[in-house]
Amino acid sequence: MIDNKKILVVGAGGFIGGHLVKKLIELKNQVVACDIKPKEFWFQDFDNASNHYSTDMRDINNCKKLTQDIDYVFNMACNMGGMGFIENNKAECMQSVLINTNLLIGCKENEVKKYFFSSSACAYNTSLQQKTFIEGLREEDAYPAMPEDGYGWEKLFSERMCRHFFEDFGIEVRIARYHNVYGPYGTYDGGREKAPAALCRKVLNSSMKKLNKIEVWGDGEQTRSFLFIEDCIEGTLRLFNSDYTDPLNIGSDEQVSINQMIDIIQQISGSDKLEKIYQLDKPKGVRGRSSNNELAKKILNWSYQISLKEGLEKTYNWISQEEKSGTNLNRFTKPY
């Protein structure tokens, strides 16, 4: 694994970025942590990071400044959230292309050795995701291009930008296509939360208030695969340390419907079976999505280790503690 390097993590105040910073510090690296959010809204605190910056990396001058004397850059920053946020803030999501482009320019000028870009399964062709349970998406399935509007197009374009900076300027790039990463120390309310955290919160609130019902976006038959954060960080670092420069899936192939996931969380909560109130007018995204991990197994000798049930139990317990303690501060819900 990486050690004794000076590493810039952009998006360090976010969910995946926060867990990555923690791991890089554990590995004895000097980490420069940056996020657009004010420090009080960062998901995790890093007093032992070498520097903290709350700044807008869409500004190229900030990118050029913070990439000076840096060995490696991890770009984990993007303006995004769950399906509700993505579908209603397409222009905001698209502007994240400025972060990636300007960071790459800064890396070129300051001779940064290696660059990581966090892409998404939203980059995949949506025409392949119209059925409920589908075959896992392979890396080549992103083309011909028809990604999710807004956020998906930004990710696919930024992947190409990374590729061309590698081809034209020799910057060593690594690109992960993340598939629905979840776990503790992330958003679970306020509008940006994703399905696992949102449903854990809803089941918890229903149980605490004895409502015995839960609101579900869509008919609950839409499917996804979900990757626990610890597996995500392990896969990310293995990819970064590999020689592979094309986009690579970092995900789970444990595909479930939203209804099935609700039933799992309900069992974890110990509550009675909940009545599902379906909201068919809410954003639903593609009908089905899952990750094909054959290439990751071959290239990285890596696969996810934490089952969905185990990961949801960890996530549910963390959200329960946050709600009961009343200390949840991670509710940065406004667009940048």
Q: Which residues are catalytic?
A: 151
Query: In which region does residue 285 sit, left (phi positive, over 0), alpha (psi from -120 to 50) or beta (all else)?
Result: left
Gap between the Cα atoms of 123 and 288, Å rounded: 14
Handedness of CA 150, 155, 158, 160 (dihedral sign): negative
- Helices of type H across 55-173: 60-66, 83-88, 90-94, 97-110, 151-169
Looking at residue 23, the DSSP 8-state letter turns out to be H
Residue 104: closest CA among 68, 65, 64 = 64
Gap between the Cα atoms of 204 and 323, Å rounded: 9
Residue 118: closest CA among 170, 74, 81 = 74
Amino acid at 111: E
Contacts 24+ apart (CB under 8 A), 96-99: 96/58, 96/154, 96/158, 97/154, 97/157, 97/158, 97/161, 98/58, 99/10, 99/57, 99/58, 99/63, 99/75
